[in-house]
Amino acid sequence: MSWGTKIVASVALMLLAALIALIFEGADRVIQARIQRRLGPPLSQPFYDLVKLFAKESLLPSDALPWLFSGGPVFAAASALTIFLYIPIGSLPPVLAGGGDFLLALFLMFLSSFALILGALAGASPYGEIDAKKELDLIASCSVPLSVIASSLAWFAYRQGLPGAPFSLETFVAKPVWSVAGWSGIMGLIILAAAFLSLIPALADRVQRNIFGGSSRHFSGRTLLLSRLARNFRTLAFCSVFVSLFFPGSMGRFLDLRELALFSVDFLFFWVKVFLVQTVAVTWGGAFLGRFKNSRLSSFYGVAVTGVALAGLLLLFLDARL
Amino acid sequence: MDVLTLPLNPSGSLEPLAITVSLDGDRIVDARIRHGALHRGIEEMALHWNLFQVLPLAERICGFCSLSNALTFARAVETIAGIVVPPRARYLRTLFLELERISSHFLWLATACHIAGHEALMMAVLSLRERVLDMLEGLTGKRSNCGVAAFGGTRVNLDDADIKALEEMIAFYRRELPPLQEVLVEGPLLRFRLQGVGVLPKEVAVRHGVVGPVARASGLYVDLRWSSPYEAYGDFDVQPRQVSDLMGRSRGDAFDRMVLRIMELRQSLEIIETLLQGIPGGNVLAVKKDRRLAALLRDAEGRALVSVEGPRGESLQRVTLCRGKIALSSWTLRSATYVNASSWPLLLRGEELSDVALIINSTDPCIACTERLFPLRPSPVPEMAPLRLSSAEDGEAAKEVAP
């Protein structure tokens, strides 16, 4: 692929991902409203919000560091969107195939979170300081189980001889990891998938923690719009990575399709899977789980989810040994 | 210790309050509450109006304790004027007070679920509350500020169809409350979030003089319906509910306050059920003609201190009337929240910042009722007016105390 094609494909994919993120956000709100026996907003509400916030003035606090306060949300949204360039969408290879792996995707996700935290901190508000501390607390507690999951999967892929680089998402898409696991391996993979699923709301900033509004309350107008978009893009990116790692199955091959039909069906099937994952991890979780205390949330991810991830690793280890 | 002091603006607690907290990390080391954001000058307005106009005004102090406030005012005026409320009206007042308690407790439960982040539960609770609001609408024509209270009785009477509808409502709640209780009390959702938060030990509750469900959840055996029964409460066995009866022990935390309110919902249903079985016949107004009532009120003189056990606790009013005009000389109100608010800094100390709204809400605050205790000008109190205290038995001559 030439550089020109790569740039065009990258822009097209990022625009498509942004569109899908907004549609999924609308669907998420509609489903949550139905669960809560409310009428709820229409599916197109995120688009109305986008237009409204885009037209509004962005207020800059007097003591703020302007470039960081305004640039943080931009950087957060951009880095979250960049993740899609490294994810294989259905049967299509990543736009930047070979340019990055699972670890780079995780790095970009953390970068997106940190950019938003830095933006909130640059507002020079004491509330921003508190919110930033909470965010950092949560990200730190989530990073431990996430690294256990990532290294477990990579080690298992390498050990079982999956073709390709162990940390590459293409490796997991080319041959599903389930196909090389025995019974204890399958159990281990289920546990790791559950642990990863539980991490999605926290890392995508979709878990309810603060009645005051969280870090996005410091922004207004376009910066608020971008901070919200960054959150939506991160959610979609996490769900996409989850699908690539654990459910890379191809519907096109199952239906014995060829070329364009195969790519089209798998492309659509991929987004359906992402939607289902988002519905389970974010929508249902948001509807039925309450607002957490920050300390309890950190200990939940830092201790309980890490423990579960280690149990998954142990089962994978047993499977590889046996 | 690096302490950060910051104001949580009125939206911080979902109530129009100015809260300033000092934080060590995420932990609250001190909290100060400042009232005054919702003072509307109702007392001042009342001094310029006649008593018949003040009664609906008293009802509009707050939408959720509207009957409690109006009834306390009406009872104070009746005590001064020596008006004896007919038995049927006493029963009807009791009925509406309990319907108001059900409506208020359901609303509190919904707010607690909302603050705890359980929106689906909140909507479920609000849909249950609709039934009692529909009932109030059916009986009075309004869902809140129902206009039930009148001097010397009630404006509303019941017929057989109303009683049947009330029985159906009780049957509905008997069917729907156990599953709700199972989710809220026995389930992990709210237990996980509320247990151990905002603990108010019994001895501290006594020291701060807290009232209502907050006091009862801390293990205090206080309830005006039991200790000094008014209206028809003397005819029933209204024992203050205690969390330890259901849970085995009481810790005085936010969870216990929720459990207690659910127990009180059941108690209110029991009271209404018993009340409907023995509701006496007769008039619902002691003085039917307005002109005669106006003459009685014009001749009334004195002060009365009357309290009613509202949904949030003791609602107390001091009313002064002077002879020759159908108007107030002075009017002072003290709501349950005004008393309970003294415990908020204590409840907040040592808790996390994210618990502020949860803790303050657990005491079921009503700022609209609270900010009524600011005298705007010295009121012309008669020199030798006797202070009358509300009697234990309605209709009995009020006790006179030398000023």
- Please report how the helices A306-321 and A126-159 are oriented relative to each other, as an axis angle in degrees rounded to 10: 10
Tell how far CA B392 is from the center of its chain.
Answer: 19
Partner-chain contact B122 A295, CB within 8 Å: no
CA–CA dist B53, A294 (Å, integer) = 51
Going by pLDDT thresholds of 50, 70 and 90, the confidence category of residue A244 is very high
Domain ranges of chain B: 42-401
Mean pLDDT of B137-155: 92
Q: What is the full DSSP assignment across B362-381?
A: HT---HHHHTT----S----
Going by pLDDT thresholds of 50, 70 and 90, the confidence category of residue B402 is very low
Q: Residue B1: its pLDDT value, please? A: 60
Highest mean pLDDT among A18-32, A55-69, B367-381: A18-32
B153-172: per-residue pLDDT in tens?
Answer: 999 999 999 999 999 999 99
Contacts of B124 in chain A (CB under 8 A): 37
A16 CB within 8 Å of a chain B CB: no
Q: Could you tell me which CATH number the domain at B42-401 has?
A: 1.10.645.10
Q: Residue A210: its pLDDT value, please? A: 63
Partner-chain contact B117 A295, CB within 8 Å: no
φ, ψ (nearest 5 deg) of residue A286 = -65, -35
Partner-chain contact A130 B4, CB within 8 Å: yes
Contacts of B11 in chain A (CB under 8 A): 212
Contacts of B130 in chain A (CB under 8 A): none
CB distance A153 to A172 below 8 Å: yes
How many structural domains comprise chain A? 1
B117 CB within 8 Å of a chain A CB: yes
A133 CB within 8 Å of a chain B CB: yes
Partner-chain contact B355 A130, CB within 8 Å: no
| Chain A interface test: which of B11, B15, B119, B197 (most A C-beta within 10 Å) | B119
Q: Residue B375: its pLDDT value, please? A: 47
Q: Residue A96: its pLDDT value, please? A: 82
The residues that bridge with B19 in the sheet, in sequence order, are B8, B33
Alpha helices in B49-118 (DSSP H): 51-59, 66-81, 87-115
A171: containing domain = 3-321
Nearest CA-CA distance, residue A290 and chain B, Å? 4
Going by pLDDT thresholds of 50, 70 and 90, the confidence category of residue B383 is very low
Partner residue facing A295 (CB), from B120, B122, B352: B352
- Does pLDDT of B261 surpass 90? yes
Contacts of A208 in chain B (CB under 8 A): 117
Contacts of B28 in chain A (CB under 8 A): none
The tokens of A246 are what? Answer: 């654990």
Partner-chain contact A293 B355, CB within 8 Å: yes
CA–CA dist B342, A180 (Å, integer) = 65
Q: Residue B213: its pLDDT value, please? A: 94
Q: Which residue has the higher pLDDT, B122 or A208?
A: B122
CA–CA dist A236, A228 (Å, integer) = 13
Indicate the SS3 state at residue B348.
helix
Of A43-57, A291-305, B70-84, the poorest mean pLDDT is in A291-305
Q: Residue B39: its pLDDT value, please? A: 79
CA–CA dist A92, B358 (Å, integer) = 49
A24-35: per-residue pLDDT in tens?
Answer: 999 999 998 888
Nearest CA-CA distance, residue A233 and chain B, Å? 23
Q: Please give the C-alpha separations between residue B209 and each of A104, B204, B306, in angstroms, as whole numbers.
A: 60, 8, 18
Q: Please give the C-alpha separations between residue A227 and each of A232, A281, B149, B226, in angstroms, as whole numbers.
A: 9, 21, 52, 55
Mean pLDDT of B172-199: 90
B129 CB within 8 Å of a chain A CB: no
- Does pLDDT of A214 surpass 70? no
Mean pLDDT of B103-117: 92
Partner-chain contact B12 A210, CB within 8 Å: no
Residue labelled with tokens 């490294």: A86
Q: Residue A209: its pLDDT value, please? A: 67
Q: Which residue has the higher pLDDT, B307 or A209?
A: B307
CB distance A234 to A113 below 8 Å: yes
Partner residue facing A37 (CB), from B8, B123, B354: B123
A to B CB pairs, distance under 8 Å:
63
Going by pLDDT thresholds of 50, 70 and 90, the confidence category of residue A211 is low
Contacts of A209 in chain B (CB under 8 A): 354
CA–CA dist A248, A234 (Å, integer) = 19
Mean pLDDT of chain B: 86
- Does pLDDT of B36 surpass 70? yes
| Chain B interface test: which of A211, A292, A295, A298 (most B C-beta within 10 Å) | A211
Q: Which residue has the higher pLDDT, A294 or B299?
A: B299
CA–CA dist A136, B375 (Å, integer) = 49
Partner-chain contact A38 B190, CB within 8 Å: no
Q: Residue A186: its pLDDT value, please? A: 94
Q: Residue B9: its pLDDT value, please? A: 63
Run of H or E residues at A196 = helix A183-203
φ, ψ (nearest 5 deg) of residue B34 = -120, 125
Partner-chain contact B122 A294, CB within 8 Å: no
B374 CB within 8 Å of a chain A CB: no
CB distance A226 to A76 below 8 Å: yes
Q: Which residue from B minimizes the CA distance to A35?
A: B120
CB distance B301 to B77 below 8 Å: no
For chain B, the C-alpha Rg in angstroms (whole number) is 21
CB distance A25 to A233 below 8 Å: no
Q: Residue B188: its pLDDT value, please? A: 85
A35 CB within 8 Å of a chain B CB: yes
Partner-chain contact A36 B122, CB within 8 Å: yes
Q: Residue B134: its pLDDT value, please? A: 96
Residue B378: exposed, middle, or buried by beta-carbon count in 10 A (0-12, 13-18, 19+)?
A: exposed
The residues that bridge with B24 in the sheet, in sequence order, are B3, B27
Contacts of B4 in chain A (CB under 8 A): 126, 129-130
Q: How many CB atoms lie within 10 A of CB A55?
A: 10
Q: Residue B400: its pLDDT value, please? A: 38
A85-129: per-residue pLDDT in tens?
Answer: 999 988 888 888 777 788 898 899 999 999 988 998 888 887 888
